[in-house]
Chains A and B, each alone.
Chain A
């Protein structure tokens, strides 16, 4: 740390009164401290936001679980909080979230990985310079626009192949979320592959391996933990995605594993309740915080997994 030292500043300044110079130096020091404290508070706001999120979710969830038993919440297969006969089972919402996420990953993982291998190992650098930002634009499009795309363009196109597909289903939104997270997967996976040292590739080529053998048997295994981190980033994005599902999946909690049926995710349910403008303090109001807590815990789980994967990746070289 470098800091000015008040007692050591007397070089070439004979004309200035030492007393006022000392005062100036102290004033400077105090000002510096104030600025440092302000900047620290700004940085600490990140911690404060986390604490506030956890506090609010836990507080409202506690209120919710005073009325609903945790066992019912985790085992009941119906979520009918908006109806007269109320059931509070989170499983249908969880199933909806898992179904759309799985559909999304089945598209994004293969496409994102192959894109990353292609951009990192095969493509001309100039192609990469153009394609990477273009793919990032996919992640920049507002999610409600993707909702439009899923409801009015993808689902009708799917109905062409599957005439029985209902207008609201989880397949269309799942596929659209998949396209949406391709850039997350491909960009992080490509960075991981590009950070594999060139000497490993050179060694492989020197042994007479082809480009494909080098990519798939040397580069991809060496970058595995980075690629896994990319998948986990994609999973946590798909989990938290709200608008596509809220628009195109039908907003009906439905305990099914069939993506062709309508359904609701945790996020879509929160939107549905919020649209109904429920009174502050009601059980419905508290329920969105309870399912929100489930969502945060699951995202946190995946973030920790991603952190561990990245840590291993860093230690590789």
Chain B
């Protein structure tokens, strides 16, 4: 390299130019994802908005595209999510608490940790195969709301376990030492301190997990959910004693993503309008849930100063 100041200045200018060029390329790469998201949303709304009216939410599927709606799919999705939440949240939080607060450093703990990591990487359709063999046939739950809810619960279990562990790990050790110094037992520490302080983080993980479950199609198709359901499951609340009925657990059902897939795989254009409209509802639900999760994460991160 020469010592000529002119040459060095040229080199500096060239370097700056490359920097600016790369910044532009980087920004363009960043925009690929964001623009795709925008085009996808705009396209869906453009294609499906005309079908989005009150009837669409109140009607059952129909052979006539204009009269078809998503009532049974919305009810089905809600009931399946109920089973998923009731199963996955206690199981996942308990597992996370065990791994952070109770587990000794030994080979059993290591095996559990490896399994949680691996399960997070298993393709969702494999959970469908598991459910087909285990829930539908071996345990004979059939192609029911119960089978579907349990399948999705197993699928989101790793998400809840990991977020519970992260939330608990963020609690400083001084809290534990203080509780033990006052004579509390391990469970009292968990119940009165660890769980309340980690609620925000756990809730974030739960919402992200449920948002994934509500949009999941493949495992539900694999267990053989029907797509044409023009009735609602039996009501969980009845007029007679004991006023609660669990018949709906065994009922056939459809869910939002399956209804959309069904419309999408028909060649007629009017049904594809329905698919777009169902897509808008589905995307709105998942974006809303993810948005709430991000908001919670930011809010709890800013509020808690140990």
Contacts and interface: CB of A to CB of B under 8 A. Distances in A.
Asked if A and B bind, the verdict is yes
Interface of A: 1-4, 28, 31-32, 35-36, 38-40, 42-47, 49-50, 52-53, 56-57, 59-60, 110-111, 114-115, 117-119, 122-123, 131, 133-138, 140-149, 151-153, 179, 182-183, 186, 210-213, 215, 233, 236, 239-243, 246-247, 267, 270-271, 274-275, 277, 280, 288-289, 292, 295-296, 299-300, 303, 307
Contacts of A35: 187
Contacts of B98: 36, 39-40, 42-43
A215 B257 CA distance: 42
Query: What 9 A-B pairs are tightest by C-beta distance, nearest first?
Result: A240-B123, A118-B26, A142-B215, A42-B94, A210-B15, A39-B98, A56-B133, A114-B29, A242-B218
B126 A144 contact: no
B78 interface: no
Given A31-B187, A47-B115, A118-B22, 14 more contacts: A36-B186, A43-B103, A46-B95, A56-B130, A111-B33, A118-B23, A142-B257, A145-B40, A145-B44, A145-B215, A212-B18, A243-B218, A288-B222, A289-B133
A296 B123 CA distance: 8
B73 interface: no
A122 B18 CA distance: 12
Interface string B239-261: 00000000000000000010011
Given A183-B33, A299-B123, A140 B286 contact: yes
A271 B220 CA distance: 10
A133 B125 CA distance: 26
Given A31-B187, A39-B102, A42-B94, A53 B123 contact: no
Interface in B15-41: 15-16, 18-19, 22-23, 25-27, 29-30, 32-34, 36-37, 39-40
Contact of A212 (B22, B157, B216): B22
A94 B264 CA distance: 25
Contact of B186 (A32, A123, A289): A32
Contacts of A137: 37, 287, 290
Name the residue among A49, A52, A295 with the largest chain B CB count within 10 angstroms. Answer: A49
A52 B130 CA distance: 7
A153 B43 contact: yes
B228 to A, nearest CB: 12
Given A40-B102, A212-B22, A277-B224, A270 B286 contact: no
Nearest to A272: B221
B91 interface: yes
A135 B32 CA distance: 10
Interface in B105-131: 111-112, 115-119, 121-130
Nearest to A182: B33
A275 B29 CA distance: 38
Nearest to B265: A247
A42 B185 CA distance: 20
A182 B33 CA distance: 7
B272 interface: yes
Interface residues of B, number: 89
B196 interface: no
Contacts of A146: 40
A98 B20 CA distance: 37
Given A143-B215, A143-B217, A288-B129, A152 B30 contact: no
A148 B47 CA distance: 11
Contacts of B19: 210-212
B134 A153 contact: no
A33 B130 CA distance: 32
B203 interface: no
Nearest to A135: B33
Contacts of B119: 46, 49-50
A46 B115 contact: yes
A85 B244 CA distance: 53
B211 interface: yes
B97 A39 contact: yes
B11 to A, nearest CB: 9
